[in-house]
A and B are shown apart, each in its own frame.
Chain A
Amino acid sequence: MSRMLGKKGNVMVFVLPALLMFLGFILIPLIISALYSLFKYDGIGTMQFIGLKNYADMFTTDPYFLRAIGNCLLLVIVSLVVQLPISLALALVLARGVKGEKFFRTVYFLPVVISSMVIGQLWMKIFNSDYGLLNTVIRFFTHSDFQYSWLSNPKTAFICTVVPAVWQYVGYHMLIFYAGIKSIPTDYYEAAQIDGATKGQVTRKITLPLLAPVMKTCMVFSITGSLRAFDLIYVMTGGGPNHASEVPATLMYGNLFRKGLYGYGSAQAFFIVIECLLFTFIVNKLFKKSEENASVL
């Protein structure tokens, strides 16, 4: 048995298909992207090494990049401040056991399985100025002929893409929290009950501290998901009107495939990777202490 499992030929046959595909279609392209980001390159002419100039240009000469980062950070903040608390609250209520628990869980999670193209198209229609759901409801309640084109106004276009992003993934984070709460051993609760703790105390002193690792995971997912956001925005506004709703990913896409700025676009793509790693690192650092506490409990 162990001889069979140690044979080099066998190992190769088992690992190589996956490894080669991974290297060829993910890792090596990633490295090439990183290299391109150091060059001035339009895909046709010669490549000129310019060091980190592309990265500097993003912050100094690009008219849209800072706004794109601002939009992206807004998405991050709304995810952290609005989405995660709602998800956590729902998980706490459902995990405590309510009638119809499974029904609610299933319904809350439902939008997660739907393609972001459909979600985007659907919400475009919700925000439609003439026949959209939102304006129809506003008209109904105000008895007026309210008209506002949410998506073609630069002031509201981006926030209109934030709403479905939050809406779609509330159930996802709820479920992660829910699974986390369910995995806490019931002994803790029983012990607390014997000591006469109230429900609120149990949540604050037991559930939440023990959820620290899960909270960390949710925050990392939420932040990195927001930083790489593309589909919904691409479908709903395409970064417009007049670049008002760009995020780094949509800008990058335009630079690569519409303007042919291969070097500069690659720098923006790689910037997203760096951002994700950086934020993951920061969140991990922030949670180090509370996780140690959780494991002591």
Chain B
Amino acid sequence: MKQNSVGKTFKYIVLVLIAAIQIFPLYWLITFSLKGNSEIFGDNVLGLPHIWKWNNYVEAFTQTNLLRYFFNSVFYSAVTVLVGGLFAAMAAYAIARMQWKLKGIVFALFTLGIMIPAQATLLPLFQLLDKTGLKGGYLGLLLPYIAGSLPMCIMILSGFYKGIPKELEEAACIDGCGIFRCFFFIILPIIKPALATASIFTFLGTWNELMLANTFVDSEAYRTLPVGIMSFAGQYSTNWGLIGAGMVIATLPTIIIYAFLSNQIQQSLIAGAVKG
């Protein structure tokens, strides 16, 4: 019995230690975002700030384009989640419920899409957007983002469609209401949980995306948060407080959402894994 409790204590020590390792870098980020250089580079590297320098955040918003980057990121993410979710819901509905010859092939194509790394499409996309004049504007990122969100969303949603009984929609749709009204007013409400899962997945992917945003956008006006902060981290490389503030602001929305929806987020990020 005694040995058992020693083992238990040891187990907890390891669990807590790993938790500390996972959280400490973030604690450090938040504290140095609130310190002046004399503390960061001097006597107070690890502790809480002696003087809480909220001014770092004020500076980040006033001296850099952070606010613009922030709203750009919100815009890219919101449109991608909405349009990608709608298109995916429609396509997944057609794949799961409608009768047509090519649906097996189309579904296989989308599934294949999950495996395709963005690197392998980067150059042709770059040329396509460049030739059409879309590169550098909002659409230049939105189109690849929406397309990129589809495979995973379709997989999540078509799995869910298969789980809901056909009678449910049939009863509602039988008396003459058209397919579109039926889809928007009956089907979409039913698949809400799966849409939420897909949306979270898409949001996090879009919000944090770096490679496409870094490649397709050259003007500051259309830049996303990750690219914007990367560029001003180079520019103000000695002002850690300012960079830290920017990084906290880029992270805060995801952390806040995570704080409220940690279970759903965990479920949605491993959605593809568990089904496979």
Contact = CB atoms under 8 A, between A and B. Distances in A.
Interface of A: 1-2, 4-8, 10-11, 13-15, 17-19, 21-22, 24-30, 32-33, 36, 43, 86, 90, 93, 98, 100, 103-118, 121-123, 125-126, 130-131, 133, 136, 167, 170-172, 175-176, 179-180, 183, 214, 217-218, 221, 224, 228, 230-231, 234-235, 249, 252-253, 256-257, 262, 265-266, 269-270, 272-273, 276-277, 280
14 contacts: A11-B94, A26-B121, A29-B122, A29-B124, A110-B22, A113-B254, A115-B254, A117-B250, A121-B229, A122-B25, A131-B40, A217-B274, A256-B122, A269-B119
Given A5-B99, A33-B120, A262-B123, A27 B208 contact: no
Contacts of A110: 22-23, 26, 255, 258
A33 B121 CA distance: 6
Contacts of B215: 257
A100 B16 CA distance: 10
Nearest to B227: A117
B143 A98 contact: no
A113 B97 contact: no
A265 B120 contact: no
A260 to B, nearest CB: 10
B265 interface: yes
Nearest to B20: A107
B276 A234 contact: no
Contacts of A33: 120-124
Nearest to B250: A118
Interface in B198-238: 204, 207-208, 210-211, 215, 225-227, 229-230, 233
A46 to B, nearest CB: 16
Contact of A266 (B123, B143, B273): B123
Interface string B7-42: 000011001001101110110110010000000110
A18 B154 contact: yes
B115 A277 contact: yes
B174 A1 contact: yes
B117 interface: yes
Interface in B219-273: 225-227, 229-230, 233, 240, 243, 247, 250-251, 254-255, 257-258, 262, 265-266, 269-270, 273
B119 A29 contact: no
Given A114-B208, A136-B46, A15 B94 contact: yes
Contacts of B250: 115, 117-118
Nearest to A33: B120
A200 to B, nearest CB: 12
